Amino acid sequence: MAPIANPRVVFIERLTSGLPVAGKHFVLDTSRTIDIENVPLNGGYLTKTLVLSPEPAMRERMRDPSVPSYTTTYTLGASIVAFAVVVVVRSEKESIKVGEYMYGQTPWEGYTVQPYTEVVPDPKGTYPLSKYTNIMGTPGLTAFVGMEGIIEGKEGETLFVSSGASGVGSLVIQLAKMNGLRVIASAGSDAKVEYMRSLGVEVPFNYNKESYESVLSKHGPIHAFWDNVGAEALDAALDASVAHGRFAICGTVATDNVQFEERYRLKNAFQIMKKRITIRGFIVPDLIPQFGGRFFQEVPALVAQGKLQSEETIIGEKWEDVPEAIIEMMSSGHGHAGKPVIVVAQQ
Amino acid sequence: MAPIANPRVVFIERLTSGLPVAGKHFVLDTSRTIDIENVPLNGGYLTKTLVLSPEPAMRERMRDPSVPSYTTTYTLGASIVAFAVVVVVRSEKESIKVGEYMYGQTPWEGYTVQPYTEVVPDPKGTYPLSKYTNIMGTPGLTAFVGMEGIIEGKEGETLFVSSGASGVGSLVIQLAKMNGLRVIASAGSDAKVEYMRSLGVEVPFNYNKESYESVLSKHGPIHAFWDNVGAEALDAALDASVAHGRFAICGTVATDNVQFEERYRLKNAFQIMKKRITIRGFIVPDLIPQFGGRFFQEVPALVAQGKLQSEETIIGEKWEDVPEAIIEMMSSGHGHAGKPVIVVAQQ
pLDDT in tens, B269-311: 999 999 999 999 999 989 989 998 899 889 888 988 889 999 8
Report helix, strand or coil for A60: helix
Tell me the percentage of chain B whose pLDDT exceeds 90: 67
Using an 8 Å CB-CB cutoff, list chain A residues near B244.
286
Report helix, strand or coil for B180: coil
Report CB contact under 8 Å: B280, A275. no
Q: Report which of residues A221 and A19 the model is more confident about.
A: A221
Over residues A340-344, mean pLDDT = 91
pLDDT of residue A124: 59
CA distance B115 to chain A (A): 28
Report strand pairing: A339-343 vs A45-52: antiparallel
Q: What residue in A sits closest to B260 (Cα-Cα)? A: A267
Structural domain contains residue B53: yes
For the ranges A58-72, A188-202, B114-128, B142-156, which has the lowest average pLDDT? B114-128
Over residues B51-73, mean pLDDT = 89
CATH number of the domain where residue A252 is located: 3.40.50.720
Tell me which residue in A68, A69, A274 faces B70 most closely, judged by beta carbons.
Answer: A274
Q: Confidence class of residue B114 from pLDDT cuts 50, 70 and 90?
A: confident
Residues in a beta bridge with B160: B184, B225
Where is the domain boundary, A240, A268, A285?
A: A285
Report CB contact under 8 Å: B274, A234. no
- In the predicted model, what is the mean pLDDT of chain A? 91
Report CB contact under 8 Å: B266, A269. yes
Structural domain contains residue B291: no
pLDDT of residue B256: 85
Answer whether residue B124 shows pLDDT above 70: no
pLDDT of residue A282: 96
pLDDT, one tens digit per residue, over A271-285 is 999 999 999 999 998
Q: Report which of residues A218 and B255 the model is more confident about.
A: A218
Tell me which residue in A68, A266, A279 faces B265 most closely, judged by beta carbons.
Answer: A266
B259 to A257, B17, B18, B19: CA distances (angstroms): 31, 6, 6, 10
Substitution target from B60, B239, B273 for chain A, most A beta carbons within 10 A: B273
Over residues A5-20, mean pLDDT = 92
Query: Whole domain around residue A189: which residue ranges?
Result: 138-285
Answer whether residue B328 shows pLDDT above 90: no
Q: What residue in A sits closest to B250 (Cα-Cα)? A: A273
Where is the domain boundary, B268, B285, B302?
A: B285
Q: What residue in A sits closest to B253 (Cα-Cα)? A: A270
Distance of CA B71 to the CA centre of its chain: 14
Answer whether residue A49 shows pLDDT above 90: yes
Over residues B217-223, mean pLDDT = 97
Q: Whole-angstrom Cα distance, residue A29 to residue A33?
A: 11
pLDDT of residue B129: 84
Residues in a beta bridge with A49: A86
Answer whether residue A123 shows pLDDT above 90: no
Using an 8 Å CB-CB cutoff, list chain A residues near B162.
none
Using an 8 Å CB-CB cutoff, list chain B residues near A269.
230-231, 234, 266, 269
Tell me which residue in B68, B244, B255 faces A270 most closely, judged by beta carbons.
Answer: B255
Structural domain contains residue B125: yes
- Which residue, B185, B212, B158, is CA-closest to B337? B185
Answer whether residue A256 shows pLDDT above 70: yes
Using an 8 Å CB-CB cutoff, list chain A residues near B263.
267, 270
| One-character DSSP codes across B189-218 | SHHHHHHHHHTT-SEEEETTTS-HHHHHHH
- Which residue, B137, B135, B159, is CA-closest to B147? B159
pLDDT of residue A331: 79
B9 to A332, B25, B26, B52, B74: CA distances (angstroms): 55, 10, 7, 11, 12
Q: Whole-angstrom Cα distance, residue A295 to residue A137?
A: 10
Report CB contact under 8 Å: B249, A273. yes
CA distance B210 to chain A (A): 22
Answer whether residue A245 shows pLDDT above 90: yes
Substitution target from A142, A264, A273, A283 for chain B, most B beta carbons within 10 A: A273
Which residues of chain A have a Cβ shorter than 8 Å from any chain B Cβ?
60, 68-70, 230-231, 234, 242-244, 249-252, 255-256, 260, 263, 265-267, 269-283, 286
Substitution target from A226, A238, A270 for chain B, most B beta carbons within 10 A: A270
For the ranges A22-31, A113-122, A291-300, B99-108, which has the lowest average pLDDT? A113-122
Same domain, B70 and B205: no
Over residues A66-89, mean pLDDT = 90
Same domain, A146 and A249: yes
- In the predicted model, what is the mean pLDDT of chain B? 91
Same domain, A24 and A163: no
Same domain, B89 and B109: yes
Same domain, A280 and A321: no
Structural domain contains residue B85: yes
Q: Confidence class of residue B118 from pLDDT cuts 50, 70 and 90?
A: low
Helix segments in chain A, DSSP class H: 57-61, 138-146, 167-178, 190-198, 212-219, 231-240, 253-256, 271-274, 284-304, 322-330
Structural domain contains residue A216: yes
Answer whether residue B110 shows pLDDT above 70: yes
Phi and psi at B57, nearest 5°, equal: -60, -20
Same domain, B153 and B124: no
Using an 8 Å CB-CB cutoff, list chain B residues near A70.
243, 273-276
Report CB contact under 8 Å: A277, B280. yes
Over residues B200-220, mean pLDDT = 98
pLDDT, one tens digit per residue, over B233-274 is 999 999 999 999 999 999 998 888 888 899 999 999 999 999
Same domain, B218 and B174: yes
- Which residue, A296, A301, A267, is CA-closest to A284? A296
pLDDT of residue A122: 59
Tell me which residue in B69, B272, B277 faces A274 most closely, judged by beta carbons.
Answer: B69
Which residues of chain B have a Cβ shorter than 8 Å from any chain A Cβ?
60, 68-70, 230-231, 234, 242-244, 249-252, 255-256, 260, 263, 265-267, 269-283, 286
Q: Please return the burial class of A180, using the count of CB atoms within 10 Å of its CB with bins 0-12, 13-18 and 19+.
A: exposed
Structural domain contains residue A63: yes
Predicted-assembly ipTM surpassing the 0.90 threshold: no
Q: Report which of residues B213 and A288 the model is more confident about.
A: B213
Where is the domain boundary, A250, A270, A285?
A: A285
CA distance B28 to chain A (A): 29
Same domain, B43 and B172: no
Over residues B40-58, mean pLDDT = 91
Same domain, B10 and B142: no
pLDDT of residue B125: 61
A40 to A45, A100, A114: CA distances (angstroms): 9, 20, 11
pLDDT of residue A116: 64
Same domain, B153 and B271: yes
**How many domains is chain A built from?**
2
Report CB contact under 8 Å: A275, B68. yes
Using an 8 Å CB-CB cutoff, list chain A residues near B266.
265-267, 269
Report CB contact under 8 Å: A70, B266. no
Same domain, A117 and A194: no
CA distance A153 to chain B (A): 18
Over residues A203-211, mean pLDDT = 97
Structural domain contains residue B255: yes
**A302-305: long-range contacts at Cβ-Cβ below 8 A with a sequence spacing of 24 or more?**
A302/A178, A303/A127, A303/A131, A303/A135, A303/A136, A304/A126
Q: How many CB atoms lie within 10 A of CB A305?
A: 8
Q: Can you say whether the dihedral through the CA atoms of A34, A38, A42, A47 is positive or negative? A: positive
pLDDT of residue A18: 84
Q: Confidence class of residue B112 from pLDDT cuts 50, 70 and 90?
A: very high
Tell me which residue in A69, A260, A266 faces B266 most closely, judged by beta carbons.
Answer: A266
Structural domain contains residue A122: yes
Same domain, A112 and A203: no
Tell me which residue in A69, A276, A286 faces B281 most closely, judged by beta carbons.
Answer: A276
